[in-house]
Structure 1
Amino acid sequence: MAARHRIQNRAELLGVEEPTRARRQRALELCERLLDSLDPYEATRRSLRAVFPRGICNGRSHVLAIGKAAVAMARAALDEVGARSGFVLAPEPASEDLSPLILLRGGHPSPCAEAPAHAQQVLAHLQRLGAGEQLLCLISGGGSALFELPRAGLRLEDLARTGELLMHGGASIQALNLVRRSLSQVKGGGVLRACPNLAVTNFILSDVVGGPLYAVASGPTLPIHDPSANPLALLEDFGVRSATPGAVIALLEADARRAHPSSAGTERLQATERRFSPPNMRIPAATPPTWVVADNDRAVRLVEQHASDLGLALQVLPGHLEGDAATAGAGLSTRFRGGGTGSFVWGGETTVRIDAPNPGRGGRNQELILGAARSALAHGSFSGTLVALGSDGVDGRSPAAGALLDAEVLQRLSLTDVEAALDGHDSYTLLEGAGAALITGPTGTNVADLCFWLA
């Protein structure tokens, strides 16, 4: 099915004896079929064709594509419905001409210095368009860093520092984006506020597992009214308030005083879930039509389908992988200790709390694999193949998309080395040396992470 091998180090991974080789070959085939079927160009074209079966014939459509999949999604829009103008904000350069769209290359995971100027350029152009003109907003994960304009009184460095603190503190994407919305002019419906007369239609490729669509790229075109959001409490919970830039704290405290004058913003919300979807939070009735191009749940179902095509019975386990990556990996190792005949798949997105002064190279999927390895080494039992894969092809601060674990890899690891790699957040160095890293390069899409076990 795959036109090419997406896993660049496939030959090295398959340089093992049977039956390990056969099991790895099935695992790699699943990964490659999944990445092929998640191609953002084809997924976006299908969605556009469904929404606009006769195209957009008035010649008044424009495009705003933001995120890791922006280039492919923009190309799909040009090929399927065309566009008079627009912008593509992406972390990678385009390998093809996207005219008449203008490519603005940005940074990820932190915004680049040009981000505010890029955002102002986009908004200024959109504000010049005529009332009722069609704006196709193609939004994908990673857009929070690529499209940014700080609120008055804040510097871009303040936002970047706050985001880094939360990420290193182990914050989920929902928590991170709640704080980001509080500090930005363009997030949480900022495009709609700036350009209220445009006819906006959203197409979203979601990397937020089990979460609302307004969390993808912090929702530049999805307004939200959330009176009980408490970003100050989140900064406290993740232990980063004292290190957060003073201008950020001052602005959030002023917001809290306006929202809760009697408590001066000091009331804490005890239930974490309430901070992300409180009962009194509402999405305004004027929210634009919004379509999901792809998401993590669909990716999980695709893995199940591709496994069936390969003659494998793969069961989708309920819930999502979340929480600390190494802890999640240990839980999976315990679950499958002693092997068994069942094979399983999950979707999700774990977190990593960076507490080492000089962290090495690695990411949450590789830390999950090391968490499973640590448990297996401690208990002396592991059979089967465990794979953890980031759909965007970039796992944290490393060249890998994820990693695999089987008995062959375990023979090349020691408990001491695994502990040291986890403590130093240097999972890639250890797993690459053990022949376990999965290297795809950036895939151009992002629907969070997939993890599967082949017995």
Structure 2
Amino acid sequence: MTHSLQQTALELFQSAIDRADPAAAVQAQLSAEPLAPLAPGGRRVVIAVGKAAVPMMRAALAALPDAPSEALVITNPENRADVPGAEVITGAHPVPDQTSAAAGARVLTLVQDLNASDQLFMLISGGGSALMVAPAPGLTLADKARVNEALLASGLDINRMNLIRQSLSDLKGGGLCRAAAPARVTAFILSDVIGDDLRAIASGPTVAPLGSRGDARALLQSEGLWDQLPAAVQAHLNTPEGSAKTPPAQNVLIGSNRFSLEAMRDRAKAAGWHVPDLVDDLTGDVSDAAQRILDVATSTTTDRPTAYLFGGETTVRLTGTGRGGRNQELALRIAQAADKLPGEWVFLSGGTDGRDGPTDAAGGLVTLQTWGAITASGADPAALLANNDSYAALKAADALVTVGGTGTNVADVQILLMRPTA
């Protein structure tokens, strides 16, 4: 019976990924609302950036009435593929490198001479913040990389990280719109940010920034990160912004974590599962998220098979030297607390992009037996957890979820299936 629960959890996870299919989302939106026709003599530049850039560009090129004057795809190496009619380059993720800087420079070159008759069509998905970078004047890529590494290890949520990233960039926080002005800008956006704040997705290249340099400075100081920053970054954040405004763009949300949660709910209900209210804001530290999941699952009594569905993006405060990711650590923490859940159950936590941290796993799928299976393998699960080594722990119990790169990203989903025992 446990095996069937595991299969059901994997099928629900796949339905979340399928609902976030980037090509289908682009096709549906262009069918419902085609782009405005070009002005006489106008040019259309199409740029796709993010983990879903390849399928989004393919769908756009197939649906547009004529070939664009320029088409550029920027994605991560795992998701790279040829796109007829488009130039394809890669950046680095999650920490940008020289390839990311080259991608940012290429974008600025493409848009800097656009005029009011031209159109910039952006296809934006998760990961774009690191894949395409353009350090602000006075900053180097090494400066930005040091800041990004500190942010990823800090436990800050994505919105607060992106406030800081935007303040150090010529592209983020509406910088792309400012560079492309006075061209008309339309963006289709696949959200990997909980709450779908368009300013935070890929650090908001086509929307106004989350805040000012002063806001970023205050946040870094309050979190004890200021002294870790390079001197050039401190000097930049101490300098007030200019008066340039961000031109408006047409930003259209075409996919999100909430859409994928609803797809899982519909599939679970069709299969006869009782599904309580969706939880679409599972954020914060993984230890707190694990407790919240346990609280939700044990706060009500049910005598029928129940699927508790969660969506969000948690954080991990790194204190060890192990390898893993937020989904793997969350699954391991649920396995540690197995005796608090009644009946027969399985729990899956996975990233919809198929990549959890610097590993080949999307997340973990655990049961009542997982913690003991790790011990039986000769490993110490508590020690591995303390060392942020959730990958090794789950691998020892054959509890990793590995689906490969999915070509999409709408953050993470969690599935807790519970079935009362006779």
TM-score normalised over the length of structure 2: 0.89
SS in 2 for 1:355: coil
Q: Which moved more, 1:325-334 or 1:158-167?
A: 325-334
Q: How does 1:364-443 map to 2 (within 5 A)?
A: 364-376=326-338, 383-414=344-375, 417-443=380-406
Q: How does 1:286-365 map to 2 (within 5 A)?
A: 286-336=247-297, 340=302, 341=304, 342-356=306-320, 359-365=321-327
CA–CA distance in structure 1, aligned partners of residues 78 and 390 of structure 2: 29
Determine whether 1:450 maps to 2:413: yes
Tell me the equivalent position of 1:72: 55
Q: Give 1:239 deviation, angstroms.
A: 2.7
Tell me the equivalent position of 2:68: 83
Structure 2 runs not aligned, ≥5 long: none
Determine whether 1:20 maps to 2:5: no
Query: Conserved in 2, the CA contact under 8 Å of 1:213 and 1:219?
Result: yes
CA–CA distance in structure 2, aligned partners of residues 57 and 255 of structure 1: 38
Q: Give 1:413 deviation, angstroms.
A: 3.7
Query: Conserved in 1, the CA contact under 8 Å of 2:116 and 2:182?
Result: yes
CA–CA distance in structure 2, aligned partners of residues 290 and 210 of structure 1: 15
SS in 1 for 2:138: coil
Tell me the equivalent position of 1:140: 125
Q: Which moved more, 1:52-61 or 1:317-326?
A: 52-61
SS in 2 for 1:212: coil
CA–CA distance in structure 2, aligned partners of residues 381 and 396 of structure 1: 31
Q: Give 1:96 deviation, angstroms.
A: 5.0
Q: Give 1:120 deviation, angstroms.
A: 2.1
CA RMSD of the aligned region, Å? 2.6
Paired AA for residue 115 in structure 1 = S
Runs of 4+ in 1 over 4 A off after TM superposition: 53-59, 93-96, 337-340, 379-382
Query: Conserved in 2, the CA contact under 8 Å of 1:90 and 1:104?
Result: yes
Q: Give 1:324 deviation, angstroms.
A: 0.6
* Greater per-residue strand proportion: 2
CA–CA distance in structure 2, aligned partners of residues 315 and 55 of structure 1: 45
The superposition leaves residues 35-66 of structure 1 with CA deviations (integer Å, 9 ceiling, x where unpaired) of 22321111111112112089879784220111
Paired AA for residue 182 in structure 1 = S
CA–CA distance in structure 2, aligned partners of residues 30 and 439 of structure 1: 15
Tell me the equivalent position of 2:13: 31
Tell me the equivalent position of 1:207: 192
Determine whether 1:49 maps to 2:13: no
SS in 2 for 1:336: helix
Paired AA for residue 421 in structure 1 = L
Tell me the equivalent position of 1:6: none
Q: Give 1:302 deviation, angstroms.
A: 1.0
Change (3 A) 1:73 1:57: farther
Paired AA for residue 365 in structure 2 = L
CA–CA distance in structure 2, aligned partners of residues 313 and 293 of structure 1: 28
Q: Give 1:121 deviation, angstroms.
A: 2.2
SS in 1 for 2:51: coil
Query: Conserved in 1, the CA contact under 8 Å of 2:165 and 2:172?
Result: yes
Change (3 A) 1:95 1:221: closer
Q: How does 1:274-285 map to 2 (within 5 A)?
A: none
CA–CA distance in structure 2, aligned partners of residues 119 and 347 of structure 1: 31
Q: Which moved more, 1:389-398 or 1:338-347?
A: 338-347
Query: Conserved in 1, the CA contact under 8 Å of 2:17 and 2:260?
Result: no
Q: Give 1:93 deviation, angstroms.
A: 6.5
Paired AA for residue 388 in structure 1 = S
Q: Give 1:236 deviation, angstroms.
A: 2.6
SS in 2 for 1:322: strand
Change (3 A) 1:92 1:309: farther
Change (3 A) 1:95 1:140: closer
Aligned positions, number: 409
Change (3 A) 1:399 1:114: closer
Q: Give 1:91 deviation, angstroms.
A: 0.6
